[in-house]
Structure 1
């Protein structure tokens, strides 16, 4: 079975491709590495950027140039090829011309949208091209019943996890949004007052000054999936920050499940999943940490192995592709406020 895999998240692609190979697929990876961006300081590009903005009233010269480069690359890569499956992650990130081309060359097209649909409304134009279209937020299923979206959570991919010594009480890695930075410093204060250790790594834009410390680091470069796994394995508890437009469970939730590790989060919707247990997940607004100390003292509540296996990358891919035997993955139905 030939499968075309399309995902710009190179880090996350590694375990997915490995699992697809394990399942017997011949995988053609469209994006094996991210292309080098255009040189914004070259005389040629600076001239045409100004020309586009002033004469053509187009503010997206560099963005359009990158799209054209990617399209030319994709056309060459996919020439005269056909596939049994095409698996997209976040199809909204690609031009319509690529979606149409892959549709013509694939027997079945599948997309997993791990962001809220209203965040990237352009995705609605692509929905008719897909045979199976998955969302991780049940509000999207209820809000747009005419599209017949399928439910799907994120997954865990490290099935052979080895526990290591605990070096941190809390660990977080992610994008350094202002709100997250403030919440992290609130937690740092709680840790300082209670003799606990925090390790947080947040990426910030290049124009912002880096501030790197043993506990909270604001840095320009992110870390690899391997580094993330190593840090997380050294932590007693993982931090999960919910975005305003996201109601589904993040990858951190399932990574903690595989490691038998505690989680603190500001996403109260997690209590509606079958994997929730109050000894494993603590809810806070990251302003008031009442009860967190007591939560840390309780041992992790071991989950039923059937639940853990249900959210594994192997079952996840079988369900997404409707391939072989699998346990369907559903979402809680939340009432909109």
Structure 2
């Protein structure tokens, strides 16, 4: 594909595939539309039920035929459109055969892939790289080992953009809102216990995709033994509710997946919110916004909070706020900068 000068997204046609993830895919589409693009979007996954996603973790190949049928149906809807970009986020389910067909159908489009998971968590993803013109990843270490990857951390949406010190009265000292996976519950229990001992006000919303997932974890995870189903939440909070709870909190807890070194989206959202952070991610020290006055790094195996909750957030340089905005992210994952 020939290199062309980037002139913004006005009038550009984009075919967008992303996993459904707390509505983030809708925010990306909305922002692309605001930037002038014409967007057709679809779930990247052919499996949407929690039980199916659980099987997906064991062996995604069992859904290959279903996935190929799913993408064939989408192609029958969009094949006559002339796209400028075909953007995939993650691309864990599409087979190589699907990507070949789409590339053949949309010969003039620039195919872009953004990895918001680490390579080792997506079996077979490296075999798909050859079908893309531009690949970016949120994982700094993956980008160091794979020259095809362009490093691009995640972003904060407009609802997480706050004026400096906009909230002076806080309902909570600590806030955790997130899906319970890997060892998150084990770490969170320790933090919650310390908070209660130190009389630190904490709001936490431990989300599970379904009650099926809860009972499955009760079977395989020792830290779930003895828990009550009432300790967990099964309804997703809207982005507006999440940002409201975060705004009323001094500090936010981030517990990244142990298989990832890339920063979670919650971490980046705290840049826009001007919030202090407690995180298990040791690699955060290597980012341009890191400041030990704002960020406390804890050991996930022995999480000890050493943070003065009375201190205010130390503001960052203004250019960093645009760098981590959703608008800047969209331009970069399409292989452009504005």
- How far apart are residue 34 of structure 1 and its match? 8.0
Distance 2:120 2:316 in 1: 34
Q: Which residue of 1 aligns with 2:185?
A: 181
Residue 92 of structure 1 and its aligned partner are, at CA, apart by 2.0
Say if 2:304 is the partner of 1:289.
yes
Unaligned stretches of 5+ residues in structure 2: 1-11, 53-58, 216-226
The root-mean-square deviation of aligned C-alpha atoms, in Å, is 2.8
- Structure with greater Cα Rg: 1
| CA-CA distance at 1:36 after TM superposition | 6.8
What SS does the corresponding residue of 1:221 show, helix, strand or coil?
coil
1:273 corresponds to: 287
In 1: Cα distance, 2:256 partner to 2:152 partner: 18
Shift of 1:288: 4.3
Match of 2:162 in 1: 161
Instruction: Give 1:210-289 correspondences, 5 Å limit.
Output: 211=228, 217-286=231-300, 287-289=302-304
Find the counterpart in structure 2 of residue 314 from structure 1: 327
Q: CA contact under 8 A between 1:74 and 1:98: conserved in structure 2? A: no
Any runs of at least 4 consecutive aligned residues in structure 1 with deviations exceeding 6 A, and if so which? 32-36, 59-62
Distance in 1, Cα, partners of 2:69 & 2:204: 36
- Whole-Å Cα distance in 1 between the matches of residues 277 and 60 of structure 2? 40
- Report how many aligned residue pairs link the two structures: 300
Cα distance, 1:199 vs structure 2: 1.7
Is the CA contact 2:278–2:296 (under 8 Å) kept in the aligned structure 1?
yes
Which segment is superposed worse, 251-260 or 7-16? Answer: 7-16
Kept in 2, the 8 Å contact 1:38–1:62? The answer is: no
Which residue in 2 is equivalent to 1:335?
A: none
- Greater shift after overlay, 107-116 or 158-167? 158-167
In structure 2, C-alpha distance between the alignment counterparts of 1:252 and 1:24, rounded to whole Å: 27
Deviation at 1:155, TM superposition (A): 0.8
**Relative CO higher for 1 or 2, CA cutoff 8 Å, sep ≥ 6?**
2
Distance (whole Å) between structure 1 residues aligned to residue 262 and residue 42 of structure 2: 27
Change (3 A) 1:101 1:68: closer
Post-superposition offset of 1:212: 6.6
1:293-337, Cα deviation, whole Å (9 max, x unpaired)? x2x2222100001111111111111222244x53xxxxxxxxxxx
Q: Choose from 143, 146, 157 the match for 1:144.
A: 146
Which residue, out of 201, 205, 218, partners 1:201? 205
